[in-house]
Structure 1
Amino acid sequence: MKNKKTLVLGATTKPERYANIAINKLVEKGHTVLAIGQNTGEVAGVTIHTKSIPLKNIDTVTLYLNPTRQREYYNYIIETKPKRVIFNPGTENPEFYQLLKANGIQVEVACTLVLLATNQY
């Protein structure tokens, strides 16, 4: 399996949250993980940043932010030029799908945890 450098957007230190579980599973599966959230902290050795960080060679951005909160990251994600953006349940955003597709970025409406569990990540 290839290491897919992944940005988790909406990261949290709360262990019951799906973003937290996703960081743990991504690290467990050997992926390089970067994380941005509302509060600083650390999950599975991954530092959670509160501001946009410079990114290079990102394969996947996995979203754990509702559509309203995603807006402030539109340009950031597009400028990062990931291969794909995963919209986890509750993050569906047709407006953003169009912007991503117009910039040649693959849109995947799926659950990161399911993709990891079924080796489809």
Structure 2
Amino acid sequence: MNKHTPGPWVAMKDGKYVTENPWSVDHEDGHDNTTAPIGGPDGQVVALVVMDDEHSENRWDDTELDANARLIAAAPDLLAALKLTSDCLSKCLTGGEVSAALAGRALVAAGEAVTKATVA
């Protein structure tokens, strides 16, 4: 399995952990792209969410860009929660035992990851 930059990842704007005033890239033909960098644990950019303002239905609305940035920033958390949940389900389906504490951790991890991915 390939290694990815470890989490946590956060949606960043202008190098800060905020979502207002996204970066904008102007092109020679007059249109621009609005971007939201995704920062890794050391603040390095691990991904860049780009919305082409010319071809977006939400041309003047950053809601879609922010939602995409949150989803991508939550990827390491979602992966960890899915791995934990998968381990619990595998044990259950093969006759193994899963403690209530482990099942509870999986449920909490999944809920927290979904919240990170979806709540502004």
Greater share of strand:
1
Greater share of helix:
2
State the TM-score, normalizing by the size of structure 2.
0.23
State the TM-score, normalizing by the size of structure 1.
0.23
